[in-house]
Amino acid sequence: GRFDSLAVRVTDHPLVVALCQAYGKPLVSTSANLSGLAPCRTVEEVRAQFGEDFPVVEGNTGGRLNPSEIRDALTG
């Protein structure tokens, strides 16, 4: 990519927390948007940006209006 760093996404979303706990390890995933585009908030928006065959875990955003926080793995 264009960055020379490693980022960690931090979330308290119940579904993501449950997935991480069930797996017992961190998850690796892409952002819910293509670089430079607005974050997707619905399954329809994800499929419009990534295509109909893109795998999606459907769930409620819980009223969250902003994406989860991303922190630099070295500096926090």
Q: What is the 3-state secondary structure (H, E, C) of 10-76?
A: ECCCHHHHHHHHHHCCCCCCCCCCCCCCCCCCCHHHHHHHHCCCCCCCCCCCCCCCCCCEEEECCCC
Which pLDDT does position 1 carry in this prediction?
A: 62
Q: Higher model confidence: residue 24 or residue 8?
A: 24
Q: Domain limits at 16?
A: 7-72
Q: In total, how many domains does the chain have? A: 1
Tens digit of each residue's pLDDT (9 = 90 or more) over 19-76: 889 999 888 776 778 888 888 888 899 899 999 999 888 877 767 777 777 788 778 7
In a domain, 67, yes or no: yes
**Is 1 part of a structural domain of the chain?**
no
What's the chain's length in residues?
A: 76
- Answer yes or no: is pLDDT of 7 > 90: no
User: What span, in angstroms and rounded, lies between the C-alpha atoms of 16 and 41?
Assistant: 15
Distance CA 50, CA 45 (A): 9
Q: Is residue 20 part of a domain?
A: yes
Residue 2 lies in a domain: no
